[in-house]
Structure 1
Amino acid sequence: MRNQTKVVTNPVRLSYAHVWEPHSIQGGKEKYSVSLIIPKEDTETIEKIEKAIEAAIEQGIGKFGGKKPNKGALKLPLRDGDVEKDDAVYKDAYFVNANSLTAPQIVDTNVEPILDRSEVYSGVYARVSITFYAFNVNGNKGIACGLGNIQKIKDGEPLGGGSSANDDFKSVADDDFLS
């Protein structure tokens, strides 16, 4: 039987990609994590995510006191970039934050492992497997998103405002230092 809480996205853009080393957010447990930027026109991926969230709510009824909660009372993982982010990268997009205690497998378009860490970064386009599950911790109830595996599809403009050495410097001949 197919796992109704698992989704493999169409190509999405990775942001805040901590996929090679686990990272602690606000002093919490170290996890592998990434924000998936999903274009609003990708209705297929969005629909699959919405169905998986519904399935996770159904499967999580035990965590919600034995009855299905009102969706409005839950913290949900599919969020609107136009509403929640003041960042052009998130314009006309939804986003999902996914994380895992275990490292994702990261592969190329031929499903061969990517070993060069510089190949996958914030800004790259990838397909990602994610799984949704219910949580109820300290009065916070909702659906969370687990990070599965990543398949790089194509390069993208790096996110994060950094620049490359090529952007910052021009080639200098040895005799330029002598003048």
Structure 2
Amino acid sequence: MADSDKKTVKFFTPVFRLSFPNLFVARRNEDDPDAKAKFGLSAIWTPANFTPREKELWLNIMKELDAISRKDFGAPWKELPDNVKRGVRDGAAKAGMEGYGKGTRFANITTHSRPGVITKDREDIGPEHGNADLIYPGCYCRASVNVYSYGLKKGSKGKGVALGLFNVQKIKDGPRLDNRIAAADDFDEDIDSAWLDQDDNDFDNGSDDGDDFE
């Protein structure tokens, strides 16, 4: 992963739609209680929408995935056996989930070290800056990553090639993938002026008028 002891080569991803962000608090895999807690995200790409520069970035990552697959597993990335995870997957496998589906590719990108997260203007994002809500499922980001293999030791629970996470930059907002409504949009109606004009004592007069609503 990104904080591996091995020498790593850094790559930059094309812009992706952010899903399942876990960038500020490390979490453990409930299916593997012995594993260390991780930070991470799921990145969703639509290659058909790539710019020429993004196509180049994508090709660089795919070439590295193939090179590591050949070196550590003895097979091209596209021909890895089913028991070796490929890191980048076809979004059609999650067609029932919002944001995924035919024509998309996705990767779960993780790290044991908390990644840096910044805005388009390179300002820090995080709970200590009071703006962690800028990061949510559905916004658009890009990331710096490395490519690594795992599970090469005897007795490992799984093996494959994957992307490790360094840092994340939010590029722009997008429709939420979790259907959650932002507070600013939820309370868009004007407040009843009576609540703004009345003194606090006017609402504490011991009246039983509220019984009419029972």
TM bucket, shorter chain: 0.7 to 0.9
Q: For structure 1, which runs of at least 5 residues remain unmatched after alignment?
A: none
2:37 counterpart letter in structure 1: E
Look up the match of 1:131: 146
Match of 2:134 among 119, 124, 132: 119
Deviation at 1:88, TM superposition (A): 4.1
Q: Which residue of 2 aligns with 1:93?
A: 104
Q: TM-score, normalised by structure 2?
A: 0.68
Instruction: Say how many residue pairs are matched.
Output: 171
Q: C-alpha distance in 1, partners of 2:8/2:112?
A: 22
Q: For 1:18-167, what aligned pairs fall within 5 Å after superposition?
A: 18-26=22-30, 27=33, 28-41=35-48, 42=50, 43-58=55-70, 61=72, 64=73, 68-69=74-75, 71-73=79-81, 74-91=84-101, 92-114=103-125, 115=129, 116-136=131-151, 138=156, 140-167=158-185
Which whole-Å deviations, capped at 9, do the CAs of 1:11-47 have from their partners, x for residues lacking one?
1111000011112232443211100111121243432
Runs of 4+ in 1 over 4 A off after TM superposition: 166-172, 174-179
Contact kept? 2:87, 2:163, Cα under 8 Å: yes
- What is the identity percentage for the equivalent residue pairs of Structure 1 and Structure 2? 28
- For residues 166 and 67 of structure 2, what CA distance do their matches in structure 1 show? 18
Higher fraction of strand: 1
User: Matched residues in 2 for 1:88 and 1:133: separation?
Assistant: 28
Q: Which residue does the alignment assign to 2:19?
A: 15
1:80-100 per-residue CA deviation (whole Å, 9 max, x = no partner) reads: 112333124113210010000
- Spell out, residue by residue over 1:53-88, the C-alpha distance to the aligned partner (whole angstroms, 9 max, x if none): 0232255x2xx5xxx146321210111112333124
Radius of gyration: which is bigger?
2
- In 2, Cα distance between equivalents of 1:85 and 1:32: 25
* Worse-matched range after superposition: 135-144 or 119-128: 135-144
In structure 2, the CA distance between the partners of 1:21 and 1:139, relative to structure 1 (3 Å rule), is closer
Q: When the two structures are superposed, what TM-score results if normalisation uses the length of structure 1?
A: 0.80
What is the RMSD computed on CA atoms of the aligned residues?
2.7
